[in-house]
Structure 1
Amino acid sequence: MTTVKERETIQEQFKERMNEDELLNCMRCGFCLPSCPTYIESGFQESHSPRGRIALMKAVVDGLIEPDEDVEKSLNMCLGCRACEPVCPSGVNYGHLLEEARDIINQNKKHSLPVRTVRKAVFDGLFPHQERMRTLTGLIGFYQRSGLQKAVRSTGMMKLLPDSLSSMEKVLPEIPTRKEMKNRPTYLPAKPEKRKRVAFFSGCLMDTMFMKTNDATMKLLQLSGCEIVIPENQACCGALHGHSGEKDSAKDLAKRNIKAFEDLQVDYIITNAGGCGAFLIDYDHLLKDDAEWSERAKDFSGKLKDFTSILAELEFHKMKLKLPHQVVTYQDSCHLRNVMKTSSEPRRLLKAIKDIDYREMKNADSCCGSAGIYNIVESEMSMQILDTKMKNAKATGAVTIVTANPGCLLQMKLGIEREGLSDKVRAVHIADLLLEAVEG
């Protein structure tokens, strides 16, 4: 609960920092309402819609309401999927408004000691340090391989956790060894001939927990004629920080990445995680007020491209791609679609695979409920959204659900587990499926 002084400070910061022109751009037309998962799943509560949240921000700026717990709850309930942006006739940059509002609240609110401790450990102590990420994921790998996981499950200890967390433990990918995580390439030649020179953003979780997907992505890029450089000194993209009210830390990480990539003389900077890509491509906005970094950030953002886009550009879909007959559907990564504007390319690649039956899922462009750590901090709403998503996925009859983001992948695996379909349906990252199709 915020104190009177904290609310006064937050209100003053809203007046100083919120972009009032952007707030006024919202015409209250309601075009965003059908695209907002929290508005629909909350029973059409206006305060859980983009239009409603913008109205709350504007009311705080104007001094009509205080930035109290109800305002904070409304902002925290937002997934940040940004599905409202493509349908907005005024072009309101809702995601930028949301991140600014969250940052103001979090930087001027005194959290409890346990919350401060966890936030410091995660945002300062873990994600900015790749070696620590390797250590943590290495411990999870030890838990999986040592027999400890089997022992814990057999004792029923997982039942002490909330359902979503105990199910999440079941769907974690097989973690590589610590030695494998440390032995990463910094350069890979094109095969058979060079058509593009690209830099690969390997990410933090993607290069540890999802390392095999990174390897699959780079192999696909090589086969498409890409020479690849992978900077050793790159860092976490900063998305988790930016979405959680830790904007200064996000800026520090952005500067580290810009510096790591800017002298490589590459055609593109390639990502394979929609959430990371969307935050990376927004570096020009994040650093727009920094005289030293704004132009450098603009150059960086201008080179960002999802790996499916360059595969499509280089006509990878014309290669011989084949899989055993199966029904396949695709779940959009919100940020890949809504921010990076990439939606047709993954579908084109999937439809090129011989012998599969591709079926479009109803509302495939709607959020699955993962949204970074949303499925942990707002578990009830997340599972409600996931249940709707699984209903649509099951209606396709698909045995393979394809995603393009690690959070979406775990969320869809969680949905499959909750539905009792683990022996019939799988969720897979598109890079892994495309490599299967090449090898097939």
Structure 2
Amino acid sequence: MNGKAASDIRDGFRERLDYNELMNCMRCGFCLPSCPTYGQEQYEGASPRGRIALMKGVVDGVIEPDADVERQLDLCLGCRACEPVCPSGVKYGHLLEEARDVIQSKKQHKLPVRLVRMFVFRGLFPRMKWMRRLHVAIYWYQKSGLQRLVRGARVLRALPGNLEQLERTLPDVPGPAALRSRPTALSAFGEPKMKVAFFRGCLMDTMFMETNDATMTLLRMAGCDVVVPPDQGCCGALHAHGGEKEMAKRLAKANIEAFEAAGADAIISNAGGCGALLVEYDHLLRDEPQWQERAKAFTSKVRDFTEILIELRFADRRLSLPEQRVTYQDSCHLRNVMGTSKAPRELLRSIAGIRFREMEEADHCCGSAGIYNITESKMSMGILDYKMEKVRHTEAHTIVTANPGCLLQMKLGIVREGAEARMRAVHLADFLLEAALHDSMSGGSA
């Protein structure tokens, strides 16, 4: 990194990082056991306390903002498990996002990196048309026989990291017709109790479309009229975490405008990673007075779908499934940012026929973290192997989670364990709908 870039980064840290928040860290070390990268590395710089010290050192001018500093900030998963255990309540995630954004805005990337970032952050995720086209391509890859041919020829073995195994975790994606015919309004089954606006997401409404449909069905069963604002888009989480804060702000504003017109009692998310940013739009837009009140009104309505199901007493229904052992893997952002951990477990325990087994360190990150399992494959796989050791102790047949990244990561863990024949991973919404439909077909109350 040249001297001009280093100077610009230091100035950016001084201007944008909250120095009081940096000073708020007492260096007590309570965050160390909760940090997945510290657990793997046992190195102070790979901990929240250490990374805050690096940021403060840059601001104070005693540490050069060099490649080593950038490396440690990049190595963080952003799981924010350090925040609930911090006695001082340090908002580490906010500091990390600001630091990354400063570095990315001041750094001169090589052309290939610039092109990839431009495609991902400005081309693919902000534009649902592009996202749908990508998934149509995946659909034809899966349905044309090409996937079978590629796997048979073992072509994917030439790919770096764990991409060959990741390809095996991809769900069967919906076809072009299904992608085009998405609902914008659905009525409650029976007397409506609440009007909710559903945040459909980008990956969730393409690769995981069936899970979105399952979630909306559950909400309707619970007595919700469901509105799906057609002008909504990507939540911006990948941008906010990846040093593209201005684009994250643009996406946030577009979503606020789209949901304001819905007039709903609540805004529902079924993906912990998306929900965690939605609920912090007021922080993201804190420096824009004209958006502050609108952002606060938006975030005050954001809820995870499990919280609404509990509020509307969905767990009182007669739900059942064939006998199986089930464990639950917390979505980091759902638990650590949205504060939702009890509702999913209540819903699981309400299902007759399953034996719920709490996983040791269920709140420990699985190592997915957006695209972290691609960009930081070695660290991600070390964290995943640690997680799968805890899964083995539960002897579970089914791993349930509530975030698409976690779901793919747990499927990857099952593949790496060679356990596909005896274990599966499933999103909580799909699992609950299975229970509702199974009970209905068995003669129970729907």
Alignment match, 2:304: 306
Residues 273-352 of structure 1 correspond to what in structure 2 (within 5 A)?
273-352=271-350
Q: Deviations over 1:189-238 (max 9, x none)?
A: 01111001000000000000000000000000000000010000001000
Alignment match, 1:5: 4
Instruction: Report the residue type matching 1:58 in the other structure.
Output: K
TM-score (norm 1): 0.99
Residues 252-291 of structure 1 correspond to what in structure 2 (within 5 A)?
252-291=250-289
Q: How many residues align?
A: 438
Measure the CA separation in 2 of the matches of 1:211 and 1:193: 26
Q: Aligned to 1:329, what secondary structure does the other structure show?
A: strand
Alignment match, 2:414: 416
Instruction: Select 1:106's aligned residue among 104, 107, 111.
Output: 104
1:386 corresponds to 2:384? yes
Residues 154-169 of structure 1 correspond to what in structure 2 (within 5 A)?
154-169=152-167
Measure the CA separation in 2 of the matches of 1:183 and 1:266: 23
Aligned-residue sequence identity (percent) comes to 62
Q: Aligned to 2:290, what secondary structure does the other structure show?
A: coil
Alignment match, 2:180: 182
Kindly state the Cα deviation for residue 66 of structure 1 after the two structures are TM-superposed. 0.9
Measure the CA separation in 2 of the matches of 1:16 and 1:357: 53
Measure the CA separation in 2 of the matches of 1:146 and 1:271: 33
Kindly state the Cα deviation for residue 162 of structure 1 after the two structures are TM-superposed. 2.9
Q: Deviations over 1:126-173 (max 9, x none)?
A: 100001100001100110011000011111101111351100101100
Measure the CA separation in 1 of the matches of 2:284 and 2:102: 15
Alignment match, 1:214: 212
Contact 2:161/2:377, CA 8 A, preserved across alignment: no
| Deviation >6 Å, runs of 4+ | none
Alignment match, 2:15: 16
Q: Aligned to 1:292, what secondary structure does the other structure show?
A: helix
Residues 393-412 of structure 1 correspond to what in structure 2 (within 5 A)?
393-412=391-410
Deviates more, 1:160-169 or 1:281-290: 160-169
Alignment match, 2:37: 38
Instruction: Report the residue type matching 1:300 in the other structure.
Output: F
Measure the CA separation in 2 of the matches of 1:169 and 1:339: 30
Measure the CA separation in 2 of the matches of 1:414 and 1:233: 33
Instruction: Select 1:65's aligned residue among 63, 66, 88.
Output: 63
1:25 corresponds to 2:36? no
Measure the CA separation in 2 of the matches of 1:15 and 1:243: 20
Q: Aligned to 1:198, what secondary structure does the other structure show?
A: strand
Alignment match, 2:94: 96
Measure the CA separation in 1 of the matches of 2:432 and 2:324: 14
Measure the CA separation in 2 of the matches of 1:165 and 1:228: 37
Kindly state the Cα deviation for residue 101 of structure 1 after the two structures are TM-superposed. 0.1
Measure the CA separation in 2 of the matches of 1:194 and 1:122: 40
Instruction: Report the residue type matching 1:184 in the other structure.
Output: R
Q: Aligned to 1:305, what secondary structure does the other structure show?
A: strand
Q: Aligned to 2:90, what secondary structure does the other structure show?
A: coil
1:51 corresponds to 2:34? no
Kindly state the Cα deviation for residue 263 of structure 1 after the two structures are TM-superposed. 2.5
Measure the CA separation in 1 of the matches of 2:154 and 2:303: 45
Contact 2:161/2:374, CA 8 A, preserved across alignment: no
Measure the CA separation in 2 of the matches of 1:60 and 1:339: 27
Instruction: Select 2:225's aligned residue among 224, 227, 238.
Output: 227
Measure the CA separation in 2 of the matches of 1:384 and 1:200: 35
Contact 2:32/2:38, CA 8 A, preserved across alignment: yes
Kindly state the Cα deviation for residue 292 of structure 1 after the two structures are TM-superposed. 1.0
